Amino acid sequence: MEAPSRTFEQAKKLRKGMSLPEVLLWQALRRERLGLKFRRQHPEGPFILDFYCAKLRLAVEIDGSSHGAGDRPQRDNSRDGWLKHHGIAVVRLQARTVLRDMNAALAVVVGVAEERRRDLPPPPASRGAPP
């Protein structure tokens, strides 16, 4: 789904002002060479995803302490429902987990990525080069 242009502009700003857990996870995702390409601060519909793997339609969100306050849990559930409806799985990691135990955070991402690889249909077979 195409994101509104204002969402693209906001995503650019967010890339420049990532939180420490986001920066650390971004470095780890790139360094680990998981065989997956993640984008950071990726616009998707009306939302901006912390990290997104298009191949697996997988979003990784880092939740700080504000995600447990006020109406934020309901907003997160609504957002996750919208993404699921559009075929995108969401992994939510606590910021403190990323800061304290990067290996555990990566293990969660890798585990869900492996599930997605198994569950998604294979890409269409190549018909070879045209004559």
Q: Where are the domains of the chain?
A: 5-118
Calpha distance 89→86 (Å, rounded): 9
8-37 confidence digits (pLDDT tens)? 565 555 555 688 999 999 998 887 666 788
pLDDT over 70 percentage in the chain? 72
Torsion of CA 8, 82, 24, 66, to 10 degrees: 100
Q: Record the tokens describing residue 59, joined without a space.
A: 């979003």
Res 130: pLDDT = 56
Instruction: Work out the end-to-end distance of the chain between its first and last CA atoms, rounded to an integer number of angstroms.
Output: 35
How confident is the model over 66-88, as pLDDT tens digits? 555 566 788 889 999 999 999 99
Give this prediction's pTM.
0.76
Tell the CATH topology of 5-118.
Answer: Endonuclease; Chain A (3.40.960)
The pLDDT of residue 65: 62
Angle between helices 20-32 and 102-119 (to 10 degrees): 60
